[in-house]
Amino acid sequence: MKMFSVAHKTVFVVDHCPYMAESSRQQVECDVLTKSRAQGVIPLAPVSKSLWTCAVECSMEYCRILYDIYPKDKLVNYIVSDSEFHILNSWRREDQSTHELMSALAAVGPPNPREDPECCSILHGLVAAVESLCKITELQHERRTALMDTAERVANRGRIICLTNAKSDTHVRMLEDCIQETILDQNKLAAGSDRLMAIQQCELVLVHIYPQGEDTLVSDRPKKEISPLLTSEVHSVRAGRHLATKLNILVQQHFDLTSTTITNIPMKEEQHANTSANYDVELLHHRDAHLEFFKSGDLHMAGTSTRENGLKETVTLKWCTPRTNTIELYYCTGAYRISPTDVNSRPSSCLTNFLLNGRSVLLEQPRKSGSKVISHMLSSHGGEIFLHVLNSNRSTLEDPPSISEGCGGRVTDYRITDFGEFMRENRLTPVSESTHDPSGKLPAERAKAQLERHTRYWPMIISQTTIFNMQAVVPLANLIVKETLTEEDVLTCQKTVYNLVDMERKNDPLPISTVGSRGKGPKRDEQYRIMWNELETLVKTHAGATDRHQRVLDCIIACRSKPPEEEERKKRGRKREEREDRTEKNGNKETDDKSWQESERLKGLLDKEDQESEVIKDSPDSPEPLNKKPRLTTEEVQPPERAKGPVSLLTMWTNRITAANSRKHQEFVGRASSVNNKFELYQHLKDENGMDVHENGKASR
């Protein structure tokens, strides 16, 4: 069955009435030789296009893009309306070209401003457009012939694009009512004819064109359903470049196109042949060429930017210098025809000729850092230019990755064994026709329903689940996915829940994954909280199946709500665990302190024996340093006072060095016999001279 979309038929209805001869008031400069003009030559005055000229140019640009990208299956019928309608081409394939349309438009000529406006109306063209949509195209005829028994399945849909200068919103509603009545009348005629097809759906796109500097009398309106057969939308646009932009956006919306801008194209300058400059060229193509960007969300990496005040987006790709001496076969996942947005510009013309001469251009994603990624390629085949999508990921032609490599990146702890069991439980087997299901479901539907129930909650990675790593939860996990539960199944699930409560009361450990976390992982209470949350999530996904499923969920919720004495017991357990952790840490530090103190005591005894065997001579020329601390005997050495809390390694080492240095010299006699750390100097002078000597050693007079 072939379902033709609305894009299969497009009818252009262009107003040819006298008011379309009015100026658009957008001036075009004709005198471009201002610098080299001789003296006395009067410059040329600027000209402006008429509304008719703007409508014809923009509609032909719409058709050019359409024919470039869809040369066969998208058809256009062009109608001009004044005092009567003029059909410029037919649905036949030989009439589908811009050359045929331009020749027919040249024969029609511009609107006659002296013609009676009362005799002219756009309605003539709209009625002819509806009649044209009822005619059968060659593709529809081929499909109807192939489906003789079910020819009515071939759909007939189309779109009417009307370019006119409407008077008001009331005038627009009158045009919509006229089209609606014409569709109903034509469908009645098509029901009794073999050469016509009834219209199942028609889209009306009415574009109101008005000159520059004037206020519009018609308001914009988004797509609105007039009837089951007709939808309508209204666009009010100023003539000139605004109209060209609007139709460029419409052609992208109507035919699922998107924009790509090729940047940094090197091109030699005409004035300076030895120099080159970089240019940008915008191309239109089918949206699927950027499908990988949309899937992965890497449009920001591909350089997405917005054009025309946010109306449409374009994806930026960077030019790579082509290799001319090598012929390489690239792995492509798609090829799509392209059409330049500005076909007459010099950069577009140079790029087109470059590609039509047999050259290929690689395109890369612009990145601020990292290696470049070549994602697309431009190349021509048979005189047509295609945008090729290159595979930037692992090719399907290569050997598949082993599970140990981690097809999910660094993730390697997949539940491989559980997945094998899951596949065995959901295998499909042939079913005889005599097998009857009381519910009336087909076997395929029952299989899909079972697969949906089994996958409502099924973590793929071991580190992301707790309950599926516990043998105690297996009975509940296997029963809760069933479509219906028996009373025995409910009792089994409740017993499983009670067993988990008993495990929590005994403070049994749980298989919590500590991958990526430092230390011992979460506390025991936190482990059980995670387990209960995951178990409740699993049961909630199936609680709405039957009342017995809900009873299992109610049991879990009831067991999770602890009485006050249970909460107090858990608080005491938490404090005990914290105290044990602190004791374990402090115990390690005290053991280290004791070992240091024991070694210092032994070292002091050895130093004392060495000092007793030696005679140290005093010398006035080499006085003892004043900053030495009094040396204490081994018995008087007190261990350094430990600070509250754990002692750092620096403190332990400083205490050891200080104690060792204090034993390497003979203590100063004055410090050893001082009173309150003070010693009176030159006591013999007081006895000989009878002078009063102060404690600081200076005589007083």
List, for residues 374-385, the tens digit of each pLDDT value: 888 999 988 899
The DSSP output letter for 428 is -
Q: Band of the pLDDT at 153, cuts 50, 70, 90? A: confident
Over residues 667-696, the pLDDT tens digits come to 777 777 788 778 888 777 766 665 554 444
Give the pLDDT score at 234.
95
- 344, two tokens: 């007459």
Stretch 476-482: mean pLDDT, rounded? Answer: 90
Query: For residues 311 and 249, what is the distance between their CA atoms, to the nearest angstrom?
Result: 8
Could you give the C-alpha distances from 393 to 375, 389, 397, in angstroms and in order?
10, 12, 11
Would you give the distance in Å from CA 155 to the centre of its chain? 36
CA 273, 277, 280 angle in degrees (round to 5)?
135
Q: Which is more confident, 636 or 16?
A: 16
Over residues 387-402, the pLDDT tens digits come to 999 887 655 555 555 5
Q: Contact at 8 Å (CB) between 379 and 331? A: no
Give the pLDDT score at 275.
62
Could you give the C-alpha distances from 385 to 83, 251, 330, 624, in angstroms and in order?
42, 19, 16, 97
Stretch 629-649: mean pLDDT, rounded? Answer: 53
- Whether the pLDDT of residue 460 is over 70: the answer is yes
Stretch 237-250: mean pLDDT, rounded? Answer: 92
Query: Which strand (E) or helix (H) includes residue 140?
Result: helix 138-146
CA 175, 181, 187 angle in degrees (round to 5)?
135
Q: Band of the pLDDT at 618, cuts 50, 70, 90? A: very low
What are the sequence ranges of the domains in the chain?
9-28+45-255, 258-390, 415-425+441-514+523-564
Give the pLDDT score at 689.
61
Query: For residues 662 and 199, what is the distance between their CA atoms, to the nearest angstrom?
Result: 108
Q: Contact at 8 Å (CB) between 535 and 467? A: yes
Stretch 42-58: mean pLDDT, rounded? Answer: 87
Give the pLDDT score at 681.
80
Minimum mean pLDDT among 43-52, 107-116, 612-621: which range?
612-621
- Whether the pLDDT of residue 492 is over 80: the answer is yes
- Whether the pLDDT of residue 344 is over 70: the answer is yes
Could you give the C-alpha distances from 34 to 41, 42, 269, 385, in angstroms and in order?
10, 10, 21, 38
Give the pLDDT score at 285.
94
Minimum mean pLDDT among 79-88, 189-198, 391-400, 523-532: which range?
391-400
The DSSP output letter for 112 is -
Residues 6+ apart with CB under 8 A from 476: 492, 493, 496, 497, 535, 539, 552
Q: What is the CA radius of gyration of the chain?
A: 46
- Whether the pLDDT of residue 535 is over 80: the answer is yes
Give the pLDDT score at 369.
61
The CATH number assigned to the domain with range 9-28+45-255 reads 3.40.50
Query: For residues 186 and 344, what is the distance between their CA atoms, to the nearest angstrom?
Result: 42
DSSP sequence for 151-167: GGGS--EEEEEEEE---
The DSSP output letter for 322 is P
**Amino acid found at 376:** H
Give the pLDDT score at 276.
67
- Whether the pLDDT of residue 283 is over 90: the answer is yes
- Whether the pLDDT of residue 619 is over 50: the answer is no
- Whether the pLDDT of residue 298 is over 70: the answer is no
554-589 core/surface letters (b: 16 or more CB in 10 A; e: else): ebbeebbeeeeeeeeebeeeeeeeeeeeeeeeeeeb
Could you give the C-alpha distances from 526 to 443, 554, 562, in angstroms and in order?
44, 22, 15
| Greatest Cα-to-Cα distance within the chain, rounded to the nearest angstrom | 153
Stretch 568-574: mean pLDDT, rounded? Answer: 63
pTM, two decimals, is: 0.58
Minimum mean pLDDT among 103-107, 182-186, 394-398: which range?
394-398
Q: Band of the pLDDT at 629, cuts 50, 70, 90? A: very low
Minimum mean pLDDT among 12-21, 306-315, 428-437, 534-543: which range?
306-315
Give the pLDDT score at 375.
86
- Whether the pLDDT of residue 123 is over 90: the answer is yes
Give the pLDDT score at 96.
92
| Architecture (CATH level 2) of domain 258-390 | Beta Barrel (2.40)
Taken in order 640, 643, 644, 647, the sign of the CA dihedral is: negative
Query: For residues 660 and 657, what is the distance between their CA atoms, to the nearest angstrom?
Result: 5
Q: Contact at 8 Å (CB) between 157 and 202? A: yes
- Whether the pLDDT of residue 491 is over 70: the answer is yes
Other CB atoms within 10 Å distance of the CB of residue 355: 19
DSSP sequence for 65-92: HHHHH-SSS-EEEEEEESSSEEE---SS
Give the pLDDT score at 73.
87
Residues 6+ apart with CB under 8 A from 49: 23, 24, 26, 28, 57, 239, 240
